[in-house]
Amino acid sequence: MQERFYRVIASQLRRPSGRFGRWVMTRALNQGNAELIEGSLGALELRPDDRYLDAGFGGGRSIELAAKTIDLGHIYGVDYSSDMVTHGQRRFRKLIQEGRLSLLAGDFLDLPFRDHLMSAVSTINTIYFWAEPPATLSSFRRILRPGGRLAVGFSGAEKTRAYAALTHSDFRHVQAEEVVALVSAAGFDAVRALPQRGKVSRGDFVVVAQRADE
């Protein structure tokens, strides 16, 4: 029984869906991940005129925060869970009507955006599920303009291994150094791992980088 419960939660973390996804997971993600989401957006140093994408926006806490700064540029969210997109479109109806936000269904490996569109991209608590890390980072690089900023927020391996019931199958445990190496190899400069020190985010990291010139 308990094992089945953990299996359900693990699959909801990977791809929240249905009523449980829309009602329970959105709230749980927004609350549980608030510090890391804030740390990731802080590392991006968002500006009012940014064209910013959060890839895998889940419950949408990143969108809410970004909207406090970005009022001249545009905010984009992409998620392969159509339930997260529907939830976000309801929750952020006003921002969408004002022409400040676009939420789209899509996979990281086939992002529905033209080359060089974004000036900043974040992806938070998604790296554990990337099928192909180098290809995923190339995809983020493709849509960033040269000099554009990337932030990858995640819990380090030591922390994710402590939640074995939720992370034992088909889950990538990553160390900060490993992510720094992957991001550097994908054509990014100034790659740094920022350890997070919040109450909940201790053991989490934000790897921040800039897309290198062509």
Ligand X SMILES: C[S@@+](CC[C@H](N)C(=O)[O-])C[C@H]1O[C@@H](n2cnc3c(N)ncnc32)[C@H](O)[C@@H]1O
Applying CB under 6 A, the residues found at the interface with ligand X are 13, 15-16, 29, 33, 37, 56-59, 79-81, 84, 107-108, 124-126, 129
> By C-beta, is 51 or 87 nearer to ligand X?
87
> By C-beta, is 33 or 167 nearer to ligand X?
33
Q: Which residue has the tokens 């997971």?
A: 25
Among 39, 41, 71, CA closest to 54: 41
How far apart are CB 195 and ligand X at their closest, in Å?
17
| Whole-number Å distance between alpha carbons of 26 and 14 | 12
> By C-beta, is 91 or 212 nearer to ligand X?
91
Instruction: For residue 53, give the 3-state DSSP assignment.
Output: strand
| Whole-number Å distance between alpha carbons of 38 and 120 | 15
> By C-beta, is 9 or 212 nearer to ligand X?
9
> By C-beta, is 69 or 125 nearer to ligand X?
125
How far apart are CB 6 and ligand X at their closest, in Å?
15
How far apart are CB 185 and ligand X at their closest, in Å?
19
Taking a C-beta distance cutoff of 8 angstroms, is the pair 173, 185 a contact? no
The total number of residues written for the chain in this structure: 214
**Residue 67 neighbours by CB distance under 10 Å:** 18
Backbone angles phi, psi at 148, to 5 degrees: -65, 155
How far apart are CB 179 and ligand X at their closest, in Å?
15
How far apart are CB 153 and ligand X at their closest, in Å?
7
